[in-house]
Amino acid sequence: MKKFLIVALSALVFVCLAGPAMAKVQMGGMITADTYYWYQSDANVSGGVAPGALPTSGSLGTTNFNLTAPLNRLNAKYTSDDGMIGGFIEIRGGGDLATSPFVWNYAYIDWRFNPNVYLRVGRQTQTFAIMAPQQMIGWADQGHIVGLNFGDVHGGTARDAIRLYWKFNDMVRMEIQALDPDSDPTGASNLNMVQPGIIPGSAPQNATEDNAIPRFDLSLPISVGNFKIEPSFTWVQTKFENIGPGSDDSFDSYGLALGVSAGFGPVILGGEFTWGRNLGAANYVGAGNWAPTAYDSNADGFVDKIEDTDGYAWWFHLGVKLGPATIYGIVGNNNTDNDGNPAVANDPLEFDISQWMYGVSVPISVAKGFTIRPEFMYYDYDGSAEQGGVNGVDRGDQWLLGIQWQLVF
């Protein structure tokens, strides 16, 4: 609470002192609250049930009233008189009122060289797989928002980066972005890469990241008539130190995406396909199962080899405007597979999982800036997955039914 008061007062002083000197300053924000019922099947609560086995837990159903912290935010936008310098800063809820009541969501500077070229530096959106389906309820407890892990995979918002924006003409522009490469705090071991080897004669050590090359994103947004088409690419290499002789010391994470959106009178459509490798180990959002696995190839008790995880995901939504309301039908799919230790058949590291989502979302514009959104979403975690070397695992399902309330000002 003390941190919150200090920063809130600092922000107020900043606005009061800097406001008169600024050329153009716009203030804004958003308040969002969810009310919904959430159901989990017994197989889902149990974390998966092998063929012939019984669930270890029963099903769960809970009613939730949540002020969705990450969606509640305050921001300020600055533009110089000549339009050559701009800036944007935004704070949002951090999700943990005890330790982190808010975080810096965005804080970037725009430097325009001319009307067609500018440089953006600071915490900003990313350029890889930027589109998202119209699915909004369920962030607070389940992470179910914009189809994450069920068709929508992207590089993550609020990333520290440098981006060059180059507009060729009214139809085509290019965005090249270099981002912070660390997927974990500096010096931390990465996901499954714990003790990937030992230095001879010394005690076991955890691998530490050693990433000197930034993550690179490239996108080429194209506008043709009613269509917006956006191909994009991402790549980052994760390297390690403190590993044993003969151990793998790096893996690559990369992906390709193609997004399309269009509007034809009252009809709205959108979708995106993403293919990639190891994106779950490099802080990519919605790639929860896409992390590589690490295994002990020589049975000396220490992990020393890395097996890549391949995946693809897609989502599609179709909307129809009916007065103040738009009715969206949504479907999405996320597929991942990993062979674990290739020398061992049906080993515990293997998995092949296909997850689906289906739903309806109906944003209704009640007044300027105020929207209510009834929504129903069903999530199938795969009823016949390969998990831990076992085929036919039932990973269960979930569904959400509720209303989101949102005010944008």
Residue 142 pLDDT class (50, 70, 90 cuts): confident
CATH of 2-408, one of 3.40.50.300, 3.30.950.10, 3.40.50.1820, 2.40.160.10: 2.40.160.10
| DSSP letter string, 179-209 | E---SSSTT---TT-SS----TTS-----EE
Q: Which residue, 295, 207, 197, is CA-closest to 247?
A: 197
Side chain identity at residue 304, one-letter code? D
Q: How many CA atoms lie within 13 A of 370 on its CB side?
A: 3
Give the model's pLDDT for residue 164.
98
Alpha-helical segments (H) within 53-98: none
Which pair of tokens denotes residue 339? Answer: 């062979």
Residue 207 pLDDT class (50, 70, 90 cuts): low
Domain boundaries, the chain: 2-408
Q: Which residue, 212, 121, 123, is CA-closest to 160?
A: 123
| Residue-wise pLDDT tens digits, 41-98 | 999 999 999 999 999 999 999 999 988 878 899 999 999 999 999 999 999 987 655 5
Which pair of tokens denotes residue 121? Answer: 């530096």
Mean pLDDT of 179-190: 59
Question: Rounded to whole angstroms, how far apart are CA atoms 19 and 13?
Answer: 10
Question: Could you tell me which residues come within 8 angstroms of residue 181 by beta carbon, excluding any fewer than 6 positions away?
Answer: 211, 213, 214, 215, 236, 237, 238, 282
Question: Rounded to whole angstroms, how far apart are CA atoms 52 and 72?
Answer: 45
Give the model's pLDDT for residue 95.
60
Hunting for tokens 């609250």 — which residue is that? 33
> Given a cut of 50, is residue 6 above it in pLDDT?
no
Which pair of tokens denotes residue 360? Answer: 């309806």
> Given a cut of 50, is residue 201 above it in pLDDT?
no
Question: Rounded to whole angstroms, how far apart are CA atoms 386 and 392?
Answer: 6
φ/ψ (deg, to 5) at 360 = -135, 130
| Beta carbons of 76 and 89 less than 8 angstroms apart | yes
Strands 370-380 and 385-387: unpaired
Query: What is the average pLDDT score of the chain?
Result: 86
| Beta carbons of 307 and 342 less than 8 angstroms apart | yes
| Beta carbons of 393 and 50 less than 8 angstroms apart | yes
Residue 378 burial (C-beta neighbours within 10 Å; 0-12, 13-18, 19+) = middle
Question: Rounded to whole angstroms, how far apart are CA atoms 96 and 83?
Answer: 38
| Beta carbons of 187 and 206 less than 8 angstroms apart | no
| Residue-wise pLDDT tens digits, 314-358 | 999 999 999 999 999 999 999 999 998 888 888 888 999 999 999
Give the model's pLDDT for residue 5.
37
| Beta carbons of 350 and 389 less than 8 angstroms apart | yes
Side chain identity at residue 346, one-letter code? N
pTM: 0.88
DSSP reduced 3-state for 252: strand
| Residue-wise pLDDT tens digits, 150-182 | 999 998 888 899 999 999 999 999 999 999 886
What value does the CA radius of gyration of the chain take, rounded to a whole number of Å?
A: 23
